[in-house]
Amino acid sequence: MANPVTLGQACQSVLLTADPHAKVMAARAAARHWRLGRLAHRFDVPMPDAPARPEHPQLLAPGRMPKRRKGGTEANRIALLHALAHIEFVAIDLAFDLVGRFGDQFPAAFADDWMKVGADEAMHFVLLDRRLRQLGSFYGAHPAHDGLWESAHETRHDALARLAVVPMVLEARGLDVTPATIARFESAGDSVSAKILNRIYNDEISHVFAGTKWFETSCSERRILPKDYWKLLVNRHFRGSVKPPFNDSARLSAGLSRDYYA
C-alpha cells in the first residue's frame, strides 16, 4: 500500500513487507506518520495471519535449529548476533500486528506506546544487522526459527493473551538473559556489540512496562485480578515454561513484580 491513511493500513503495510530494509523503512514511516498526526485512528483492513518473510534466513522448527556453541570466538558471536537480529526483526511485526489487530479495543494512547515500540524494534534490528556486516556476515546468513510468531498466532484472537505472552513472558525473558550476554561480549573484547545489546536491554524494559501497563489497565476495566488472570492466560497459551533465573530488578522496573511469576 503506497500511502496508508489509517493506522490499520500503516500496520498492515509493515506486515506485508518482506525485505528487511524495506520493512524497517515502512516501520519508521508508520511510526513517524502516527506521531505527526497523519494517520486516522481507524482499523479498516485485516492483519495477515502471517507476515511476509524474506527468502533468507531459512526458517526451521525450533527443535531443528543447530546448537549454538558457547565461547567467545568471532564465529560464535556472529551466530548469537544473528539470532538476536532475527528476534528484533520478528519483533517489528509483533508490535505493528498488536496495534493493527487490537488497536480498536484501546484508546489512542495504546497506539502511541506500541508504535514507538515498533520503531524501537526496527532500530534494534538495524544496529544488529550493521554489526553483523562489520563482522563480515549479514542477516540471513544463518537459519532461524519462527517460535516468536507462533506465540503471536496462538494469541491472535485475544488482546490480553497477546500482552500476557509476548511482552510479559517473551520480552521479559530477554531482561533475564541479556546482562549475561552483554558480559560474554565484553569478556571477548567486543565492546561494540556489548554497547548495542545494552541499549536494546534498556529499551526492552520500557517495552515490558508498556505490556504490563496495558494488561493491568484492561484487567482493571474488566474487574479481573491481573496476576491471577495472567497465570491463567500463560498456562493456556504459552507452550514453554516461565522459569528462573529471573532478573527481578529489571522486571520490577518494568512493572512486573514477583507476584506474577515467582
Domains of the chain: 71-261 (1.20.1260.10)
Are 176 and 247 spatial neighbours (Cβ–Cβ below 8 Å)?
yes
* 144 beta partners: 59
Asked whether the beta carbons of 150 and 165 are under 8 A apart, the reply is no
Arithmetic mean of pLDDT, 18-33 = 98
Lowest pLDDT segment from 49-63, 76-90, 99-113, 203-217: 49-63
C-alpha cell at 208: 515490558
**Residue 212: which of 167, 177, 247, 157 has the closest Cα?**
167
Residue 55 makes CB contacts below 8 A (sequence gap 6+) with 140
Assign 36 a pLDDT band (cuts: 50, 70, 90). Answer: very high
Which pLDDT does position 146 carry in this prediction?
A: 83
What average pLDDT does the segment 118-145 reach?
97
Range 2-28 average pLDDT? 96
In this structure, the number of other CB atoms found within 10 A of the CB of residue 109 comes to: 11
Residue 168 and residue 256 in contact, taking contact as beta carbons nearer than 8 Å: yes
Confidence (pLDDT) at 68: 67
pLDDT at 71 over 70: no
Is the per-residue pLDDT at 70 higher than 70?
no
**What are the Cα distances from residue 35, in Å, to 21, 96, 112, 119, 181?**
21, 14, 7, 11, 33
- CA-CA distance, 201 to 172, in Å (whole number)? 10
Confidence band for 69, pLDDT divided at 50, 70 and 90: low
Please report the pLDDT score of residue 43 as a whole number: 98
For CA atoms 159, 163, 164, 170, the dihedral sign is positive
CA pair distance 47, 200, nearest whole angstrom: 27
pLDDT value of position 147: 84
pLDDT in tens, 91-130: 999 999 999 999 999 999 999 999 999 999 999 999 999 9
Burial class (CB in 10 A: 0-12, 13-18, 19+), 115: buried
